[in-house]
Amino acid sequence: MRTNMDIVRYIEPGARSPRVGLRRDGTVAPLPWNSVAELLRESRDDVRERLTPVADEVDAADVTFLPPVDGRTEVWAAGVTYERSRTGRVEESSEASVYEKVYDAERPELFLKSVAWRVVTDSEPVALRADSTLDVPEPELAVVANRFGEIVGYTVCNDMSSRSIEGENPLYLPQAKIFSGHCALATGIRPAWEVPDVTDLAITLRVLRGGDTAFSGDTSTARLHRTLEELVAALFAPTDFPDGAILATGTGIVPELSFSLAEGDRIEIEIADVGTLTNPVVRGREPMSWLVDALDRPDARGKAQL
């Protein structure tokens, strides 16, 4: 039987600094890197060879898991990589032609999604902009690439998005995509060699409201219009990433325009062979202010989980 394993960041009770560890079978044990950024400075072969705990394991229930991104590592995102995404952008936008063109263009749509410290993880809240009227989660397979552009692993991303702001004008994309509580990653990075077939992974989304399912949808990475390697190559071609990069590869699940997230919703995402991600929804900047405190006190993150 194949044992699922994940690379994680975590902090133990009373500790001042996070650790990088290997999680499996309900336990976590430290790995020989001080940060995920340090790990992503190495080649894929070296990471695989050194993926061995250097100290005793502890019960995973006794630690606080942190987002699997730190240092100078950036989170980027690709847009309009599924046909459903193209259709959804056309439906919402006052300038629909730009989305029709980019879907088939040689150059993909790529944009900076988040710096490391703004990323939230499983059980932590994601947010809606206070001035947005139409908001959706975007469940996406995220590729974790090292400084050489090699794919080291995969994780789950929720690329929160304001459809009303982006739909008003495509030039508002950064405002629709980047704000407090805008980006969530699962706690674990599944090593690339642990995923049997990344070209056909089932992706499911469910939004719970008051205990009932307000929206659900599914897709597969088989419906991606571009390969993961093409997207990573386009990201790395003009830019150096000394601490690697995480690239969310676009969403194939877009609700109808009649649906919008609401404060109090619960978002559940699962990607087969990769992981799960669950986040409650808040509205506005104030409920996410704890992210600033967590810059110097990562142990404070556990208190933000709802």
Query: Does 301 fall in a domain?
Result: no
Residue ranges making up the domain that contains 256 = 74-292
Are 43 and 112 members of one domain? no
Query: Does 1 fall in a domain?
Result: no
Are 96 and 243 members of one domain? yes
Are 133 and 234 members of one domain? yes
Number of domains in the chain: 2
- By DSSP bridging, strand 27-30 and strand 19-24 are antiparallel
- pTM across the whole model: 0.94
Q: Give residue 92's pLDDT.
A: 57
Which tokens go with 263? Answer: 């404060």
Q: What is the pLDDT along the chain (306 residues), one digit of tens a residue?
A: 456 899 999 999 989 899 999 999 999 999 999 999 999 999 999 999 999 999 999 999 999 999 999 999 999 999 988 876 656 665 655 565 677 788 888 999 999 999 999 999 999 999 999 999 999 999 999 999 999 999 999 999 999 999 999 989 989 999 999 999 999 999 999 999 999 999 999 999 999 999 999 999 999 999 999 999 999 999 999 999 999 999 999 999 999 999 999 999 999 999 999 999 999 999 999 999 999 999 988 877 755 555
Are 54 and 80 members of one domain? no
Are 227 and 101 members of one domain? yes
Give me the count of residues in the chain. Answer: 306
Are 112 and 252 members of one domain? yes
